Structure 1
Amino acid sequence: MKLLCWNTNESVWNHWTTILDSSVEQIRATDFEQTVNQLSKGNFDYCFVYLGDEDFSEKVEDVVALREKFTNLKLVAFPNRRSQAAALRMLSMGVNGQCSPFIGKEQLKLVLSVIDSGEIWGGKDFIQQLIQQTATVSNVTINTSSGFEELSEREKTVAEYIGQGFSNKRIATEMEITERTVKAHLTAIYQKLNVKDRLSLALLIQRGVVTH
């Protein structure tokens, strides 16, 4: 694996060097311009970006800019500050995940495995909180002109509940079906709408709804 690390913090850099396998080729960048130049000329599997406290908001926007410029790159943010607003901004724009800068070795392996499978990493509970935060209306109905016409009636119902921030367990209770069936509906919805995860679906639903 070839990895570009935008990181100016020596402690975090040394930690990453320790927890990554020796087979990983690590290249370090220290600013936005250097990161863009390296990504433009190198074939990297991942880019890790450390977000320190200094200029935190600007760094969040830099991460979003990298996502928009390098759409196929697997991009992981490592913020030193807990901020749900920053997390929502980055993850909703397609950043593949965010982790603690001092994440453990086995946990990092899990993160990369989840991202490699096509999902966003943020922790299940955290992703659910983000969805609930963005669900600003208590009841939504999918606008059939917004590209959702391929969904079956049951799939539309599941999607609407996702847009409201419901968990799989609550959806199963509301629809009187099993959680396994909810997961099956979600798999079909992801394929039909070409979205890769729960957060992406929720944001798509919330952008393409009529409220009542």
Structure 2
Amino acid sequence: MKTIFFSTDVDTINEWKSRHDVKDLLEVTNCDALLQVLSTLKEYIIVSDYDSVSHSINKMLASNTLPDKFIVLEKVPEIITGKSLILKGIKAYGNARMLKIHYQQMIETVKGGKIWTYPELTLALAKEAKRSSISDEAEALIEHRLTEKEKEVIYAILEGLTNDAIASELDITQRTVKAHISSIFSKLHVNDRVSLILLLK
């Protein structure tokens, strides 16, 4: 899968190249070049620099022309910006200077068709989608598709609890929590917690 670094800042691209040791890489500096490159590729991940190309990204979002597997990194990530971008279809949002291990986790998550966010952003998204704020349709979906224990687990997720905290609160093992979460994802046709939260909002 081809990785595309999208930034007008050559220093940022060079920093990403040296920090993450990316193979099979293309660099683009403007929207026209990006669209031209995408017309020749079937599989790709775009890693974009929000600090230098936010105008282009926002334009694509507004016109509903955002390519798939689009990642946004920012030197000083903000939860409000991350929430907005994820809700609009960005597949990952994080720190432009993240460690290599986190970069690799992010890439693998997006490659797998899932959404990646850093822990504080995931927690903020979960808190926003608490039980009291989910739609009537989402409440009905939960009622019709999930078992009683799965309902307890999903509402704990919406409170922003970790698997460990859910296990403690419900007096079950972490392994059981993971099994319930896997079943919830399957029944609601989502791949991860962020997708679940977005579904229920």
Amino acid in the other structure paired with 2:107: L
The alignment status of 1:92 with 2:91, answered yes or no, reads no
TM-score (norm 2): 0.80
Gaps (5+ residues) in structure 2?
none
Out of 122, 136, 139, the position equivalent to 1:143 is: 139
| Counterpart for residue 38 of structure 2 | 39
Out of 157, 162, 182, the position equivalent to 2:177 is: 182
The farther-off stretch of 102-111 and 40-49 is 102-111
Structure 1: distance between partners of 2:158 and 2:75:
30
Instruction: Tell me if structure 1 keeps the 8 A contact 2:5–2:48.
Output: yes
The alignment status of 1:26 with 2:25, answered yes or no, reads yes
Q: How far is 1:100 from its partner?
A: 2.2
- Which 4+ runs in 1 deviate beyond 6 A? 138-141
Structure 2: distance between partners of 1:29 and 1:139:
40
Q: For residues 36 and 136 of structure 1, do their structure 2 counterparts lie closer, same or farther at Cα, with a shift above 3 Å needed?
A: farther
Quote the RMSD (CA, aligned, Å).
3.1
Structure 2: distance between partners of 1:67 and 1:155:
35
Gaps (5+ residues) in structure 1?
208-212
The farther-off stretch of 174-183 and 102-111 is 102-111
Structure 2: distance between partners of 1:86 and 1:77:
10
Q: How far is 1:79 from its partner?
A: 1.3
Q: For residues 164 and 183 of structure 1, do their structure 2 counterparts lie closer, same or farther at Cα, with a shift above 3 Å needed?
A: same
| Counterpart for residue 4 of structure 2 | 4
Aligned residue for 1:42, secondary structure, equals coil
Q: How far is 1:188 from its partner?
A: 0.6
Greater helix fraction, Structure 1 or Structure 2: 2
Out of 47, 58, 76, the position equivalent to 1:81 is: 76
TM-score (norm 1): 0.76
Instruction: Tell me if structure 1 keeps the 8 A contact 2:83–2:121.
Output: no
The alignment status of 1:48 with 2:47, answered yes or no, reads yes
Structure 2: distance between partners of 1:191 and 1:87:
26
Q: How many residues align?
A: 200
Taking only the aligned residue pairs, the percentage that are identical comes to 23
Amino acid in the other structure paired with 2:40: K
Q: For residues 41 and 14 of structure 1, do their structure 2 counterparts lie closer, same or farther at Cα, with a shift above 3 Å needed?
A: same
Structure 2: distance between partners of 1:125 and 1:6:
25
